[in-house]
Amino acid sequence: GNSVTQMEGPVTLSEEAFLTINCTYTATGYPSLFWYVQYPGEGLQLLLKATKADDKGSNKGFEATYRKETTSFHLEKGSVQVSDSAVYFCARTNTGNQFYFGTGTSLTVIP
Amino acid sequence: GAVVSQHPSRVICKSGTSVKIECRSLDFQATTMFWYRQFPKQSLMLMATSNEGSKATYEQGVEKDKFLINHASLTLSTLTVTSAHPEDSSFYICSARVLAGGETQYFGPGTRLLVL
């Protein structure tokens, strides 16, 4: 099947804490993997992506590595800021370039 | 960067009426647009794929007669919720794929529909 599973939230962290949001996928073939972020009141924005195994996507201090052996694409950031508070969605594409999203993980960073 | 707009951003309607939502790519051409539905605290669910000049492809379980999609040009797709009912209340989001741009998609800000 085609699915994306990400850790449930909400997640609350103190500023400068380390963040990990787990994401695993099931797929036939070799999908591309994405993390999207949705800030309050806004639409989804692409945060980072990886298109093949062992690729690392990175942006704004966030990183995720495409692990084919564990079918995972965990999102990490070494030191979160209050401005990182948002909902994060893991997603994958299929052969038709359609997106399938995880359920989203709400992150709140407190000062 | 590429911008996708949606109109209206919020709409309240009476049960039984029809509502049209527009999705526009403002600074690029998009052969393909996608329509998603997002329930509170849930993920985006793909409803249909809209290709310019052809019929939309609907995901399993989505009623094509209920959710009419028209992709009349390379910059505009519309979703019409016909005979809306309270259970159609949701957040509807479109995305547009850049012409010949592969996987890159840009998302609109969404339309909040409330059916009374």
The more confidently predicted of residues A69 and B72 is: A69
Q: B52-69, pLDDT tens digit by residue?
A: 888 899 999 999 999 999
Q: Residue B1 above 70 pLDDT? A: no
Quick check: A100 and B110 CB within 8 A? no
Mark the ranges of chain A whose per-residue pLDDT is less than 50. none
Round the average pLDDT of chain B to a whole number and report it. Answer: 89
**Which of A23, A97, A100, A108 is the best residue to mutate to test the B interface, defined by the most B CB atoms within 10 Å of its own CB?**
A97
Q: What is the mean pLDDT of residues B6-32?
A: 93
Q: Which residues contact A89 (CB under 8 A, 6 or more apart)?
A: A6, A35, A36, A37, A38, A44, A101, A102, A104, A105, B43, B44
Pairing between β-strand A75-77 and β-strand A19-21 as defined by DSSP bridges: antiparallel
Per-residue confidence (pLDDT) for residue B55, from 0 to 100? 87
Per-residue confidence (pLDDT) for residue A96, from 0 to 100? 66
**Which of A32, A36, A44, A66 is the best residue to mutate to test the B interface, defined by the most B CB atoms within 10 Å of its own CB?**
A44
Per-residue confidence (pLDDT) for residue A83, from 0 to 100? 96
Measure CB to CB from residue B43 to each of A49, A89, A97 and give the nearest one.
Answer: A89
